[in-house]
Amino acid sequence: MNRLNVDQEYIEYRDKIGDRKDLYDLVARKYDVKRVLYPGSHIDIAPSLVMPHAIYVDNFKGAIKFFRKIELIQEYINQNKEYDGPCDIVFLGQDYTEDLDIEPVDLIISQYAGFVGQATKKYLKTGGILLCNDSHGDATLARYDDDFEFNGVIGKNNKIISTHLDSYFVLPGNQTVDLAKVNEQMKGPKYKISANNYIFRKIS
């Protein structure tokens, strides 16, 4: 894999999933994030464009192969990053539910990769942020987790909304959320109002 391949592979992936750079930038700026952990990242390296220290974790062989060219990824990031100073990228090609040999982080990103928040919250500083979606139910589990405080959602046009939060995670007919089912099915419930991304602060 040469440099062009790395750039091209990332750009093709970014075009497929949608460019999340502005989303990560918004969260990084708002919460002054320097160190981010992204379990189940696949090859979404957009966090490194806006945050200087990023730890990616994925056990898929395609991701492991991509990150083998870490110097070329670093080069791409250096040419495209939006902050001054060096970028530091670490990739761990392992299961994120197993022990990670890392220092605490300011932000954890959880996108379509299982119960990332639950499995890795021990690496999040108290006061740190979990940015997650509810595709697999990770946001729902955080909502009912006493270690987290529900702080906001990402609204349209990439804005953080922190008002009327009690209208989220509400089921039709005010049914109660069945957490055992969420755990078993690995799928977020269909709420009356939902958001693409949710923000939680670790409070304990």
Ligand X SMILES: C[S@@+](CC[C@H](N)C(=O)[O-])C[C@H]1O[C@@H](n2cnc3c(N)ncnc32)[C@H](O)[C@@H]1O
Closer of 42 and 81 to ligand X (Cβ): 42
69 binds ligand X, rule: CB under 6 A: no
From residue 143 to residue 182, what is the string marking binding to ligand X with x (rule CB under 6 A)? ----------------------------------------
96 binds ligand X, rule: CB under 6 A: yes
**H helical segments located in the chain:** 3-17, 21-30, 47-50, 61-67, 70-80, 116-120, 138-143, 179-185
Min. distance of Cβ 46 from ligand X in angstroms?
9
CB–CB of 49/82 below 8 Å? yes
Min. distance of Cβ 16 from ligand X in angstroms?
8
Q: Which of 10, 56, 58, 121 binds ligand X (CB under 6 A)?
A: 58
**Full strand arrangement of the beta sheet holding 197-202:** 88-92, 53-57, 35-39, 105-110, 124-132, 197-202, 148-155, 159-161
95 binds ligand X, rule: CB under 6 A: yes
Q: Which one of 21-29, 51-59, 77-85, 159-167 is the stretch in contact with ligand X (CB under 6 A)?
A: 51-59
As a dihedral over the C-alpha atoms of residue 177, residue 121, residue 200, residue 107, rounded to 10 degrees, the angle is -150
Closer of 45 and 177 to ligand X (Cβ): 45
Taking alpha carbons only, the member of 191, 57, 47 closest to residue 123 is 57
Taking alpha carbons only, the member of 42, 147, 37 closest to residue 100 is 37
From residue 21 to residue 50, what is the string marking binding to ligand X with x (rule CB under 6 A)? -------------------xxx-x------
Under the rule (CB under 6 A), what is the footprint of ligand X? 17, 40-42, 44, 57-60, 63, 95-97, 111-114
